[in-house]
Amino acid sequence: MSLLSLFDPSLLGRADAPALEFDPADGSRFTATFGELERRSNRLARVLESRGLKPGDRIAFFLANRVEIIDLWLAGVKSGLIVVPINVLYRERELRHILTDAAPTAVVTTADLAGFIPAGVPVWDVVTLNAEAASQPSERRIVPCEERTPVSLIYTSGTTGASKGAVLTHGNFIANGRSLISGWRFTSADRYLCTLPLFHVHGLGNGIHCWLGSGCHMRLTERFEHAKAAAWFEDYQPSVFFGVPAMFIRLLEVPMERAPAIGRRLRLAVSGSAPLPAEIHEKFRERYGSVILERYGMTETLMNISNPYVGERRPGTVGLPLPHVEVKILDEEGRPVAEGTTGEVWVRGTNVCDGYWRRPDATAAAWKDGWFRTGDIGSRAADGYITLHGRRSDLIISGGFNIYPREIEELLLEQPGVREAAVVGKPDPVRGEVPVAYLVADPALDETAMRTRLSSQLASFKLPRAYVRVDALPRTALGKIQKHLLPPWTPS
Ligand code: MLC
Ligand code: AMP
């Protein structure tokens, strides 16, 4: 069964209904009906086929939000391709790894971003593809597929520093889409404001699929811009908004006199991808009169646990397992923990991906008897509500983007003059956490030159906010760095 089973009631059944509006930065406005999206993707599928793509081939995109991502996603679904979304903020090091690992036939991007793609990988310009598609027949041609057929490889940072591709299938996305649409009561009358990036599962697997699966209307923006957010809400009057905590924190800056009118239209505001402080939950309710629904997911599993739509949306918790998901919380020895006691969260369900792309070792380490170990620490209250308490690893989440310290540490150690490096997450009032680097370095280290080199290699959100020089890193007798003993750092 293909993802089209989720989309067809909209693409075919509501062909004439307005589906989408998109405002690019140039001030223009693009609108489309579901039928137009159906035909655009059919044409693009033919172009991809004419360029030699066959079922199972990978096609990557490296783009800020734009309509062509939706075309490419739908064309990939129809043609049996494996679409590889890449974070548009990634730079040389991250891109080289993903493109080598996924080995896509080509990367679809724009002229201004093409320069970041390492040499040797074919680059297809999105504008050229669009122009070619315009003259193609618009009838559908479908490559049949099974629920187990992969549809996407989405890269998630690994504890080892090298990011791994989660192999997500049609069945994974169908399970996730269906349960969110019914659980969160999506209908064709909804208006969904999409400011999340489409290269991660929050924007793609939740946002795009709830929209296409319910046949509601969507306004897409290139990205979230907090200075424009209030005007977007007032103009579009969304009934649904999905965001990361950093966005909800920014939305608290909207003046008190404007917020209630926005809140009255907003039947559903969902937060996820990083912990939402209970205080922000409360402040948002006070300002907007709308109670945020917090849920918990991962790239490998899509959504696992959610506060209920009807019922208590309990601040500081992620709620109850979604209908298709089993959750267990185990101690270090693999025994279930008692109520209220913390342990590692394990999940099982049709939402969980099949494994990591070409990484049987990493797959074997993360799955056991069909259960996936999330690496998140949680506890379950007597009434079933689950609270997350952090991670087993030292993952940093900044603005909803994941950062593995090891990746930055390895790059720092390659820099001339750096002898030892440790990167830790420090609290940030908006982004939740930001990375800070502790260095043992030669006095002559040229920090400015190092910062420049790092920014050409890494996404901007991974760049250390500060570099703290220390004489030595605190270590155990066995030589392991004790990050909790590093000296304090306060933003200047
Ligand atoms: C930020 N930038 C972007 C961008 N987000 N550029 C293109 N597309 C985006 N989506 C660039 C800005 O242009 C700017 O560049 C720089 O990054 C900093 O942006 P900012 O606006 O100053 O930062 P901030 O106010 O902190 O806001 C950032 C943010 C962003 C909240 C908009 O962090 C964001 O979109 N987060 C969403 C992450 C996400 O979707 N995570 C889901 C992962 S899936 P310059 O050049 O001007 O400095 C997952 C599973 C689950 O975790 O459970 O969902
Ligand atoms: P990613 O690898 O980008 O998919 O990020 C998944 C991780 O984000 C999870 O393993 C959690 O650590 C974190 N996460 C997602 N949703 C929440 C939430 N509501 N609260 C706390 N952490 C979350």
pLDDT digits (tens, 9 = 90+) for 195-254: 999 999 999 999 999 999 999 999 999 999 999 999 999 999 999 999 999 999 999 999
SS3 342: coil
156 lines ligand 2 (CB under 6 A): yes
Q: Which ligand has the nearest atom to the CA of 199?
A: 1
- Which residue ranges form the domains of the chain, and what is each CATH number? 4-380 (3.40.50.12780), 395-485 (3.30.300.30)
Residue pointed to by tokens 């908006």: 430
pTM of the model: 0.95
How far is Cα 338 from Cα 334, in angstroms, rounded to an integer? 13
298 lines ligand 2 (CB under 6 A): yes
pLDDT in tens, the chain (492 residues): 999 999 999 999 999 999 999 988 788 999 999 999 999 999 999 999 999 999 999 999 999 999 999 999 999 999 999 999 999 999 999 999 999 999 999 999 999 999 999 999 999 999 999 999 999 999 999 999 999 999 999 999 755 567 999 999 999 999 999 999 999 999 999 999 999 999 999 999 999 999 999 999 999 999 999 999 999 999 999 999 999 999 999 999 999 999 999 999 999 999 999 999 999 999 999 999 999 999 999 999 999 999 999 999 999 999 999 998 999 999 999 999 999 999 999 999 999 999 999 999 999 999 999 999 999 999 999 999 999 999 888 899 999 999 999 899 999 999 999 999 999 999 999 999 999 999 999 999 999 999 999 999 999 999 999 999 999 999 988 788 899 999 999 887
SS3 46: helix
Tell me, what DSSP letter sits at residue 377?
E
Q: Which ligand has the nearest atom to the CA of 242?
A: 1
Q: Which atom of ligand 1 is nearest to the CA of 244?
A: 37
| Distance in Å from the first CA to the final CA of the chain | 55
Q: Whose CA is nearest to atom 21 of ligand 2?
A: 275
Name the nearest CA neighbour of 305 among 334, 328, 277, 336: 328
Name the nearest CA neighbour of 464 among 434, 440, 439: 434
Name the nearest CA neighbour of 463 among 471, 453, 454: 454
Continuous H helices in 341-445: 360-366, 405-413
> How does the average pLDDT of the chain come out, rounded?
96
Residue pointed to by tokens 């598609």: 133
How far is Cα 107 from Cα 147, in angstroms, rounded to an integer? 26
Cα 248 to ligand 1 centre (Å): 13
Q: What single-letter amino acid sits at 56?
A: G
Identify the bridge partners of residue 347 per DSSP, sorted by sequence position: 327, 372
391 lines ligand 2 (CB under 6 A): yes
CB atoms inside a 10 Å sphere around CB 136: 17
- Cβ-in-10-Å burial (0-12, 13-18, 19+) of 490 comes to exposed
346 lines ligand 1 (CB under 6 A): no
Residue 61 is encoded by which pair of tokens?
């995109």
How far is Cα 135 from Cα 298, in angstroms, rounded to an integer? 39
Residue 118 is encoded by which pair of tokens?
């390492």
Residue 413 is encoded by which pair of tokens?
């150690």
460 lines ligand 1 (CB under 6 A): yes
Pocket residue to mutate for ligand 2, from 86, 351, 373, 388, most atoms within 8 A of Cβ: 388
64 lines ligand 1 (CB under 6 A): yes
172 lines ligand 1 (CB under 6 A): no
